[in-house]
Amino acid sequence: MSPRLLRHGRSLLALVAAALLAGCGGSSTTSGNGVASKSPDQIVAASKTAAAGASTVHIAGSIISENKPITLDMELVAGKGAKGHITVEGLGINVVEVEHAFYLNGSAAFYRHIAGNAAAQLLQGKWLKAPENGGNFSSLAQLTDLTKLVDATLSSHGTLKAAGTATINGQSAVGVTDTTKGGTLFVATTGAAYPLQISKGSTSGGGTSAGKIVFDRWNQPVTLTPPPNPININQLQSGH
């Protein structure tokens, strides 16, 4: 059971992380914080600085990566962890990161996919606990660590160009498009220069990559609590 669990679990989570980070970077009619008058590179830099100083953020949206549909709905707390839900190709998983550990609770379909039918019956409704660092699910930190997410998402880009202005969820924003990777980043032009949305729609390398991720609820309170009675993933690895 355990080799299959670890192998498929790693591949699914890696797919989610890669899809979200595959490109950064219209968008607003005002420039209250001055960001709209900056160059595309300066806009991305300002957005990264603002986001890095935030305490919490909510990220949500849908992505298609290599023709695989992915949805995210996560709340991130700087320096503490995250909680939320991820769905990959219809396989849902609840995630909590807190106190230096990941807690994973999957749907029946998810457990069947990663562990087989017999194990899925035993795991149904259960939370799995995995180490935060150095474990088989450590790559998940790219989605649950606010600092890592901001750094990876806003630093990994190609040539940037201006993408005009627009309104994102009622907030004025300016757009910056990554001409290399095909994504567009929308940054708030009033208040702090937070990233508000990343959208992408392109076909490359034989696979389709598209979707939209929204960043909102910046600095709103979020409570993280370890789920009760988790199963330590090391027990599954050892066959206990």
Residue 121 CB neighbour total at 10 angstroms: 12
Nearest Cα neighbor of 76 from 146, 147, 137 is: 146
Note the pTM of the prediction, 2 decimals.
0.80
Residue 34 — pLDDT band, cuts 50, 70, 90? very high
Q: Distances from the Cα of 118 to the Cαs of 112, 113, 146, in angstroms? A: 8, 11, 36
Among 6-10, 121-125, 149-153, the minimum mean pLDDT is found in 6-10
Q: What is the CATH number of domain 2-222?
A: 2.50.20.20
| pLDDT, tens digit, 9 for 90 and up, residues 59-82 | 998 877 667 788 889 999 999 999
Whether the pLDDT of residue 91 is over 90: the answer is no
